[in-house]
């Protein structure tokens, strides 16, 4: 039987996404066996992030500096803005290095079931950024869920008065996807977004 402190560490780790009780127990055993090489650097990294963690006042990203590294990067195209639901979406898109512009994190998506209203998201801050000018394109990078598409539709209505190019991510059949394994929603979106064959 583990001590209460080790058990508390195991329970804390098991609450992290992707880790259940067994995985957390294995992680704790790994940290205990490699105390100097794994546990102490992890503790130092957690303390450093905990002390310096801030939310970017411009885009809503989470970083250790404000403005965040993305907003402060002069190589980024300030005329292109990608709107995402959460920080995890921003990090996923930024990691791909395919979008050269800047980002705006809404902090969630509209959901009547969960009671998330427009005023609960950073939509007013997005509108303020557009009112300042200098943005030519806004990419709505919402998830392909009912709530995500509802949010994208609402944003399109709110932003239609601005002289910008408003686009959204394509949805449909993924590369390498087989039709008989796809759900009806993905197939429906793929059919709606069909385009001419270029010969």
The per-residue pLDDT string of the chain (199 residues; one tens digit each, 9 = 90 and over) reads: 678 999 999 999 999 999 899 999 999 999 999 988 988 999 999 999 999 999 999 999 999 999 999 999 999 999 999 999 999 999 999 998 889 999 999 999 999 999 999 999 999 999 999 999 999 999 999 988 889 989 999 999 999 999 999 999 887 777 777 778 777 777 777 777 777 766 5
CB 94 within 8 A of CB 103: yes
- What is the pLDDT, as a whole number, of residue 177? 75
How far is it, in rounded angstroms, from Cα 140 to Cα 177?
Answer: 24
Tokens of 136: 């030519």
User: Three-state SS for 84?
Assistant: strand
- What is the pLDDT, as a whole number, of residue 138? 96
- What is the pLDDT, as a whole number, of residue 35? 87
Pure H helices in 38-163: 40-52, 69-72, 87-96, 123-131, 146-159
Classify residue 75 as exposed, middle or buried by CB count within 10 Å of its CB (0-12, 13-18, 19+): exposed
Pure H helices in the chain: 4-14, 21-33, 40-52, 69-72, 87-96, 123-131, 146-159, 184-192
Would you say the pTM of this structure is higher than 0.95? no
Contacts of 165 (CB under 8 A, 6+ apart): 136, 137, 138
- What is the pLDDT, as a whole number, of residue 197? 67
């Amino acid at each position: 039987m583990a001590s209460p402190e080790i058990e508390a560490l195991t329970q804390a780790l098991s609450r992290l996404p992707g880790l259940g009780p067994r995985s957390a127990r294995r992680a704790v055993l790994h940290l205990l066996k490699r105390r100097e090489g794994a546990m102490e650097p992890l503790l130092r990294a957690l303390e450093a992030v905990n002390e310096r963690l801030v939310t970017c006042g411009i885009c809503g990203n989470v970083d250790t500096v404000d403005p965040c590294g993305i907003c402060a990067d002069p190589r980024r195209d300030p005329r292109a803005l990608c709107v995402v639901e959460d920080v995890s979406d921003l990090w996923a898109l930024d990691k791909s290095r395919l979008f050269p512009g800047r980002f705006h994190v809404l902090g969630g998506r509209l959901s009547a079931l969960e009671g998330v209203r427009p005023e609960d998201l950073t939509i007013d801050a997005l509108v303020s950024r557009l009112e300042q000018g200098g943005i030519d394109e806004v990419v709505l990078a919402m998830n392909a869920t009912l709530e995500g598409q509802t949010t994208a539709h609402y944003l399109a209505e709110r932003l239609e008065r601005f002289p910008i190019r408003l686009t959204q991510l394509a949805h449909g059949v993924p590369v390498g996807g087989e039709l008989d394994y796809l759900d009806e929603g993905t197939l429906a979106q793929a059919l709606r977004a069909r385009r001419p064959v270029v010969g």
